[in-house]
């Protein structure tokens, strides 16, 4: 796995880069500026549908939210690949921001964010180690429980 490409690592995890989800408003999934790619917030979409809706700590369990964070990260990877063509061009995942729509008493946002962070580490190896913010919010678009943004150096 050490010399594997990011796509080969995904395949070893039983995953594949999905199609880039269509934006839900007036924006693009990713923008390249110089040596960096910034993704828009990625929702936990699979096959053009949210895999879950609701608040973490209410309708959504922390374990389900981790799965949502993983799907968001996978969708972010897809947006990056669509922008640069080849995931092997990623030098480093620089920063990840994870928004968790949660109840006021839920404080496990960092554990939910680990779903995205751990997937990025498995896919990109040492280049997947990143700075991160995990933020609790009242509501996210389409009532998604999690949203993830990536900043990647290429």
- Report the pLDDT averaged over residues 117-139: 98
Which pTM does this prediction carry? 0.96
Domain count for the chain = 1
- Cβ–Cβ under 8 Å, residues 31 and 154: no
Task: Provide the pLDDT for residue 60.
Answer: 98
Q: What is the pLDDT of residues 36-57, one digit of tens each?
A: 999 999 999 999 899 999 999 9
- Report the pLDDT averaged over residues 114-136: 98
CA distances to 39, 50, 152 from 33, in Å: 11, 29, 10
- Cβ–Cβ under 8 Å, residues 112 and 134: yes
Task: Provide the pLDDT for residue 25.
Answer: 87
| CATH classification of the domain holding 13 | 3.30.1330.40
Q: Is the pLDDT of residue 1 over 70?
A: no
Domain that holds residue 38: 6-153
Please report whether residue 126 resides in a domain. yes
Task: Provide the pLDDT for residue 2.
Answer: 62
Least confident of 14-18, 41-45, 60-64, 147-151: 14-18
Please report whether residue 82 resides in a domain. yes
Please report whether residue 136 resides in a domain. yes
Q: How many CB atoms lie within 10 A of CB 64?
A: 19
Structure tokens at 41: 């917030």
- Cβ–Cβ under 8 Å, residues 37 and 87: no
pLDDT band at 3; cut points 50, 70, 90: confident
- In degrees and rounded to multiples of 5, residue 77 shows phi and psi of -60, -40
Q: Over the chain, what is the mean pLDDT?
A: 96
Please report whether residue 1 resides in a domain. no
Q: Is the pLDDT of residue 102 over 80?
A: yes
Task: Provide the pLDDT for residue 58.
Answer: 97
Please report whether residue 67 resides in a domain. yes
């Amino acid at each position: 796995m050490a010399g594997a490409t990011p796509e080969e690592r995904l395949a070893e995890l039983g995953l594949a880069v999905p199609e880039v989800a269509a934006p839900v408003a007036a924006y693009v999934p990713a923008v390249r500026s110089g040596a960096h790619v910034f993704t828009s917030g990625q929702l936990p979409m699979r096959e053009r549908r949210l895999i879950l809706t609701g608040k973490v700590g209410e309708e959504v369990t922390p374990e389900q939210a981790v799965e949502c964070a993983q799907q968001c990260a996978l969708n972010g990877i897809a947006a990056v690949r669509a922008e640069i063509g080849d995931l092997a061009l990623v030098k480093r995942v620089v920063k990840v921001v994870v928004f968790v729509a949660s109840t006021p008493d839920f404080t496990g946002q960092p554990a939910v964010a680990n779903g995205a962070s751990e997937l990025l580490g498995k896919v990109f190896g040492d280049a997947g180690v990143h700075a991160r913010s995990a933020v609790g919010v009242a509501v996210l678009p389409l009532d998604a429980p999690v949203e993830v943004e990536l900043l990647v150096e290429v």
